[in-house]
Amino acid sequence: MFVDQLINGIVLGSIYALMAIGYTMVWNVLRFINFAHGEVYMGGAFVSLYLLLLDTPIWLAYIGGVCAGALLGYLMEKMVYMRMRSAPKLNLLIAAIGISIVLQNLAQYIWGATPERLTSPFLSKNIAIGDMMINQHYIFIIILTIVVMIALELFINRTLMGKAVQAASQNINATQLMGINANKIISITFAIGSAVGALAGILVGPVFLVYPTMGVFAGLKGFTASVMGGMGNIPGAMIAGLLLGIIESFAAGFISSGYRDAVAMVILLFILLVRPQGIFGKVIQQKV
């Protein structure tokens, strides 16, 4: 049972880590919680599902879903958030929640509310490791998550665009002064964060199904992970996501499965009160 829960935890944690990246990247450039990120996760999965129905090859369908997620994030930014730059953060928050209501119900309107299973080439195969059986799709999730993390790390640190995104997270206004188009950076940030979020949704689709409200709790967990890792800290978010998944699985297995979702919330509270800069964050001096 221990190993079972550990594997479940790592798989869940990979998903949370991928989700957390989206929250953290958006926080970096705009300092607000994009509550509609969970719907990007759902949207990506649905588009993949739809492409599969059209007999698209499975890899193309997955890539299509990721691209659709990126587009969704980009459009969200361009159509709503960009027009609210001067509005208080609270307004952005409400707008984000409004968008998430719209997207959830739009998905239901288009595709219906029935949960559907996304195909995975690996799902029906188990691998025996010792006397443990591990589903191949789980291994696929873990490997892909690691690949994405490395790729993202390389992008941020090795490419010019990545460095610009990083600079923007320090000070978006300064970026503008340096001659980098801030709006362009914000758009790119949304697109990348959303692409990763959509990927999370696609990976989860074969296991926990695809349905309009799938993003709600995934979003909350991803967001919790991003706070755990320290808002704005990308590697921190990844590790925190993994940690959250494992803690949650053990709590559900050994304490109570009904309160599974409460675990993340308790951790969130604990972090906020005891270490608001996150597990991996640095203390920032506030100037009076």
Partner 1 sequence: MANSTKLIGKKMVMFMVLAILLVGCSATNTSSGNGSSASEGGDTIKVGLQAPMTGDNAQYGQDMKNGVELAFKKINSDGGINGKKLKLIVGDDKATPSEAVAVVNKMIMNNGVKAIIGGYNSSPTLAAQEVSGPAKVLHLNMGASPELSKQNNKYLFRVILTGSVYVPAVMRYMSEEKKVKKIAALFENTDYGITMYDAAKESTKELGVEFITAEKYNPGDKNFSAQLSKIKTLNADAVMVVGLYNEVALIEQQARQAGLNVQFFSPDDSMYSKQLITLGGDAVENHIFASMIDLNADTEEMNEFKKLAKENNIPAQANTAIAYDAAMALAKALTEGGGEAEKARDALANIQYNGITGPIKFDKNGDRSNTPMIMQVQKGDFVVIKESE
Partner 2 sequence: MGQFKHRGFLKIGLILAVAALFFLPLGISNPYVMYIINLILIYVLLSLGLDLIVGYTGQVSIGHGAFFGIGAYVAAILGKNLGFSLWINLPLSIAVTALIGFAIGFIGLKLIEEYLVMATLAFGTIIWLVFLNWTDLTGGPMGISGIPAPPTIKLGSFEFPFIQYHDYYPLLLIFVLLGILITRLIIHSGFGRACTAIREDELAAQAMGIPVFKTKVMMFTISAAFCGAAGALYAHFLHVVSPETFAFGMSVTILTMVMIGGQGSIAGSIIGASILTVSSEVLRETPELRMLIYGLLIVIMIMFFPKGIMGLFKISKKRLLQRNIQAKKAAVEKEGLSYEQ
> Residue holding tokens 């340096």?
178
| Contact between 113 and partner 1 per CB under 8 A | yes
Pairing of strands 126-129, 132-135: antiparallel
Q: Does 220 bind partner 2 (CB under 8 A)?
A: yes
Select the binding partner of residue 189 from partner 2, partner 1, none (C-beta < 5 to 8 A, by kind). Answer: none
* Interaction between residue 258 and partner 1 (CB under 8 A): yes
DSSP element (H, E) containing 133? strand 132-135
The site partner of 16 among partner 1, partner 2, none (C-beta below 5 to 8 Å per kind) is none
Number of residues counted as binding partner 1 (CB under 8 A): 28
135 belongs to the binding site for partner 2 (CB under 8 A): no
105 binds partner 1 (CB under 8 A): yes
Q: What mask of x and - would describe binding to partner 2 in positions 255 to 284, judged by CB under 8 A?
A: -x-xx-xx--xx-xx--xx--x--------
Question: Among residues 173 and 286, whose Cβ is nearest to partner 2?
Answer: 286
Name the DSSP letter for residue 106. Answer: H
Structure tokens, 86:
């001067």
Are 279 and 230 a contacting pair, CB within 8 Å? yes
Residue 233's binding partner out of partner 2, partner 1, none, with CB under 5 to 8 Å set by partner kind = none
Judge contact between 252 and 8, C-beta under 8 A: no
CA–centroid distance for 30 within its chain: 17
- Amino acid at the residue 35: F
Which ranges of the chain does DSSP label H, i.e. alpha helix? 2-30, 37-53, 58-79, 89-111, 136-158, 160-170, 172-177, 182-208, 215-228, 234-254, 260-274
Let me know: does 34 contact 191? Beta carbons within 8 Å. Answer: no
- Piece in contact with partner 2 (CB under 8 A), picked from 87-95, 118-126, 200-208, 239-247: 87-95
Rounded Cα distance, 111 and 44, in Å: 13
Question: 108 or 136: whose CB is closer to partner 2?
Answer: 108
94 binding partner 2? (CB under 8 A): yes
Which residue in the set 16, 62, 190, 211 belongs to the binding site for partner 1 (CB under 8 A)? 211
Between 136 and 213, CB nearer to partner 2: 213
- By CB under 8 A, tell whether 4 contacts partner 1: yes
Angstrom distance (rounded) from CA 65 to CA 67: 5
Task: Name which position in 108, 166, 176, 183 contacts partner 1 (CB under 8 A).
Answer: 108
Nearest to 141 by CA among 17, 5, 4, 229: 17
Give the shortest CB-276-to-partner 2 separation in angstroms. Answer: 6
Residues that bind partner 2 (CB under 8 A): 31-33, 80, 83-84, 87-91, 93-95, 97-106, 108-109, 216, 220, 223, 227, 256, 258-259, 261-262, 265-266, 268-269, 272-273, 276, 288
